[in-house]
Structure 1
Amino acid sequence: MDAEQGVYLYAVTRDEGGEPDGPAGVAGAPVRRLAHRGLAAFISTVSLQEFGEESLRRSMEDLAWLEEIARAHHRVVEAVARRGPTAPVRLVTVYTGEAQVRELLDERHAQFDEVLRRVSGRWEWGVKAYAVAGPAEPVAETQDAAPGAAYLNRRRAALRGREDGWRRAAEHAQAVHEALMDIAVAGTRHRAQDPQLSGRREQMVLNGAYLVDEARAAEFARVVEDPAERGVTLELVGPWAPYSFAALDHDGETAYGDAS
């Protein structure tokens, strides 16, 4: 391989043969299969002028560039996952050559094997819950209340109402999470997204990811209703490749960097 080229890694599966039949990878690069010891790594050749260590430090600050790479990465991983159990790797994992990818498959062979067993026949679903604003608490005002005091009373009542509503929403979101965990094989609660990232004005009170058997997907989805009258609205997203349940630590000398 040319010294100015590197290898971008998307995902690892069991080697079932056959070349990938799916979308192009990052920067429009073709995706190919690298088989080694019963595993298959799905990779692309990329330019180190764009994906080298120094370039990536600058590019990671470019949100438009990062979003484009993330979309391409996701499309490839989803196409690979439709073939069979898949262990996605972190976004922007780049190696200097195929030899280092083979070293990874050697060194982490047992871990990849365990992950692939765990996710076989299962998909990741996401559930988000948002607090729904309730009616403002009524404030009793006397005729002789000063305007300033009346305003402060209304402000205090509004704050109490929001705090009580958020607490009820958080309690219900926890109950929903527990009900989903009764069905899911595994689950995790991610950090709640800021409204600027979620695109919603409501406060997020649950950002959960769940690994669910295909056979129980419909049962899982039925738990996610829209019980706004109980203080939350729920959103079901997926199914996806099991990103939250297949992560391996790829930090080290072989990888230039990642964004997770």
Structure 2
Amino acid sequence: MTEHGPGTSDADTLYVFAVCRNPDLSDVVGLPGVTDDSPVSPLSLGTLTAIVQTVRASDFTDEAWQARLSDQRELERYARAHHDVVSALAARCPTVPLPMATLYHGAQRARDALAEEEDRFHAALARIAHHAEWGVKVYASPGPRDDGDRPPARQVASADRSRPAPGAGLAYLNRRRGVQERRERSQHEALRTAEAVDTEVRGLATASRRLRVHPQPPGERRVQLLNATYLVAEHRAEELAVLTRTLRDRTGAQIELSGPWVPYSFVGEV
């Protein structure tokens, strides 16, 4: 969809934040967008509207963008500015957000390129209207240390102070086997719980996506079992909150609910 990414001529360029229908710009007017050089403004696409901002092409050359990618603070500033415009718009009307740094040479080039995606935009807008995205994560806590991990006890004797107690080796192996079996059962039960949570939330949602499970940072003992996102109708938001609390009580699992968010994960699925 993007005519070109970072890297343009020196002419002024349109930065496109999102495409929407019947926009209410009351919360968008006054936002700085990604630059202070020009206001955020609408661009008519006929039955749809793009929300754009005129930017200097020199700020989006390959070199400038690569430098920005290596500057975490600057990259976060651009990402936040982009998200602020999209979020303000989505709070007022169905909105399809475009990727950060979607750029076009002039208004007519933007209209021509975006018009080619008109059917997809209409389908996405119909799907996400009056919906929001919610995230659900399920965690399991590691079990306590088991004595089966300890080495076999040593029998202290005057002749040989390092000799194991009779039968200690076999007992140690049995303990280790038992520890492994308990861990496998615990993991299996935890995964079954995570699948059950996903099944119940999907029953309430309009659509869902399973995301990659994230490894936990150093020092975090919890294990992430489910990382999923759901498209939920606005009128079912409270129902989702109640369901999450019920699942926590019923399963004993650690369940985190986040949102509502702009449905970024579902605008590309029509």
TM-score for both structures, normalised by structure 1 = 0.80
Gaps of 5+ in 1: 249-260
Deviation at 1:229, TM superposition (A): 8.8
Deviation at 1:212, TM superposition (A): 0.5
Deviation at 1:24, TM superposition (A): 2.1
Q: Does residue 136 in structure 1 map to residue 145 in structure 2?
A: yes
Q: Based on CA coordinates, which of the two structures has the bigger radius of gyration?
A: 2
Deviation at 1:195, TM superposition (A): 2.3
| Alpha-carbon distance in structure 2 between the residues aligned to 1:84 and 1:240 | 14
Q: Which moved more, 1:115-124 or 1:139-148?
A: 139-148
Q: Which moved more, 1:178-187 or 1:93-102?
A: 93-102
| Alpha-carbon distance in structure 1 between the residues aligned to 2:69 and 2:88 | 25
| Alpha-carbon distance in structure 2 between the residues aligned to 1:59 and 1:172 | 42
Check whether the contact 1:12–1:41 (CA below 8 A) recurs between aligned residues: yes
2:91 to 68, 82, 98: 82
Partner of 2:238: 218
**By percentage of residues, which structure has more strand?**
1
Check whether the contact 1:136–1:157 (CA below 8 A) recurs between aligned residues: no
Partner of 2:6: none
| Alpha-carbon distance in structure 1 between the residues aligned to 2:172 and 2:30 | 62
1:94 to 100, 103, 106: 103
| Alpha-carbon distance in structure 2 between the residues aligned to 1:27 and 1:80 | 18
Partner of 1:258: none
1:10 to 4, 10, 17: 17
| Alpha-carbon distance in structure 1 between the residues aligned to 2:22 and 2:238 | 30
Gaps of 5+ in 2: 1-8, 156-162
- In the comparison of the two structures, how many residue pairs are matched? 246
Q: Which moved more, 1:18-27 or 1:71-80?
A: 18-27
- 1:83/1:229 Cα in 2 relative to 1: closer, same or farther (>3 Å)? closer
Partner of 1:181: 202
Q: CA RMSD in A?
A: 3.3
| Alpha-carbon distance in structure 2 between the residues aligned to 1:48 and 1:165 | 56
| Alpha-carbon distance in structure 2 between the residues aligned to 1:203 and 1:244 | 24
The within-5 A match list for 1:1-260 is: 3-16=10-23, 20-21=28-29, 23-28=31-36, 30-139=39-148, 144=155, 146=164, 163-196=184-217, 200-225=220-245, 227=248, 230=251, 232-247=253-268
Deviation at 1:138, TM superposition (A): 4.2
The amino acid that maps onto 1:224 is T
- 1:101/1:200 Cα in 2 relative to 1: closer, same or farther (>3 Å)? farther
Greater relative contact order (CA < 8 Å, ≥ 6 in sequence): 1
Deviation at 1:55, TM superposition (A): 2.5
| Alpha-carbon distance in structure 2 between the residues aligned to 1:77 and 1:53 | 24
Q: Which moved more, 1:101-110 or 1:113-122?
A: 101-110
| Alpha-carbon distance in structure 1 between the residues aligned to 2:250 and 2:179 | 19
The amino acid that maps onto 2:91 is R
